[in-house]
Structure 1
Amino acid sequence: MSDFLRKIQLIKDITIQLPVSKIDFIQKFRNNVDQSDLSYVPFEVFQSSTNEYKGSISNNEFELKKRKKLFDTNYSFAKVTGRISENNNVLNINAEINGFKKRMIFILGIMIIFYSIFIMGAFLSADNNPIPLFVIPFILIHMFFMLGVPYFIIRRSVKRMVYDLERDLHYWVTKN
């Protein structure tokens, strides 16, 4: 499943190298990321914080995601999990950016079953009451939008997180 998600770009692996020690990076991470277990918070947009990310870090691993903001149109669905290691005063960060949540499988399954039943019902009822010819293309176009638009939004969220994460990590290291 994860190979398929990587192929359709809903999961992306990145490697970032930073000229900083592991201890300094962990300190900068804790200063710029609000401590959170990344669970669902109902009114997260109303919480005030100057940090853009929420997440947690241990000695070798971290996870983070963007904080939701009021009137934000960036659709930050992507979650980052990563491992950090230090070699010769260079910090290596291997991160996986995942925009697909497992609960989406249930929703996608229901949508595919719904559209399959509707299209099959339209063909099977053609003997009793013929349906107009514009109904099937309309349903196919509707299905494309209902399945395609969320895909492109999530894919853009993953691409955006790659860009923002690389930019912000370099900024954290270079600022005092």
Structure 2
Amino acid sequence: MNDFLRKIQLVKDIKIQLPVSKIDFIQKFRNNVDESDLSFVPFEVFQSSRNEYKGNITNHVFHLRKRRKLFDTNYSFAKVTGEFTEDHNQLNINAEINGFRNRMFFFLGIAILFYSIFIFATIFSSADNAVPFFLVPFLLFHMSVMLGIPYFVIRRSVKRMIYDLERDLHYWVTKN
């Protein structure tokens, strides 16, 4: 499943090198990321903080995601899981950005079940009730739009997270 998600670009791997020691990076991470276990918080948009990210860090691994904001149109679905190692005062970060959540299986299952029942019901309806010619192509078009929009939103979220993460990590390291 993970290979399929990589092919359709809902999961991506990135590598970042930063000119900072591991201890300094951990300190800067803790200053710029609010401590959280990344679980679902119902009214997160109403919590205030200066930091744009929520997450946690250990000695070699970090997890983070963007904080949700009120009236934010960036749709921050992507979650970052990264490992870092230090090599001669150079920090090497290998991160995986995952935009697909397991709760999407529920949405996809319900949508595919709904559309398949509706399409089969229109095709195999009784001969007395003539089915309009345009109904099945319209349903297929509607299904592709309703399943395509979340795909493109999540894919854009992953691309946006790559850009924001690289930019913000370099900013954290270079600012005083």
Q: Same fold (TM over 0.5)?
A: yes
Measure, in 2, the Cα distance between the counterparts of 1:142 and 1:128: 26
Q: 1:128 deviation in Å? A: 3.0
Measure, in 2, the Cα distance between the counterparts of 1:34 and 1:68: 12
Q: 1:90 deviation in Å? A: 0.6
**More displaced 10-residue stretch of structure 1: 115-124 or 2-11:** 115-124
Measure, in 2, the Cα distance between the counterparts of 1:173 and 1:71: 29
Match for residue 17 of structure 2? 17
CA distances 1:4-36 after superposition (whole Å, capped 9, x unpaired)? 000000000000000000000000000000000
Q: 1:158 deviation in Å? A: 0.2
Match for residue 46 of structure 1? 46
Measure, in 1, the Cα distance between the counterparts of 2:126 and 2:132: 9
**More displaced 10-residue stretch of structure 1: 38-47 or 132-141:** 132-141
Amino acid at match of 1:120: F
Name the SS of the counterpart of 1:3 in structure 2: helix
Measure, in 1, the Cα distance between the counterparts of 2:95 and 2:128: 57
Structure 1: stretches of 5+ with no match in the other structure: none
Match for residue 139 of structure 2? 139
**More displaced 10-residue stretch of structure 1: 125-134 or 141-150:** 125-134
Measure, in 2, the Cα distance between the counterparts of 1:143 and 1:100: 19
Measure, in 1, the Cα distance between the counterparts of 2:43 and 2:62: 24
Q: 1:82 deviation in Å? A: 0.6
Structure 2: stretches of 5+ with no match in the other structure: none
* Identity level (%): 74
Name the SS of the counterpart of 2:14 in structure 1: strand
Name the SS of the counterpart of 2:75 in structure 1: coil
Q: 1:146 deviation in Å? A: 0.8
CA distances 1:134-155 after superposition (whole Å, capped 9, x unpaired)? 2112111110111000000000
Amino acid at match of 1:108: L
Match for residue 104 of structure 2? 104
Superposed structure 1 runs of 4+ greater than 3 Å apart? none
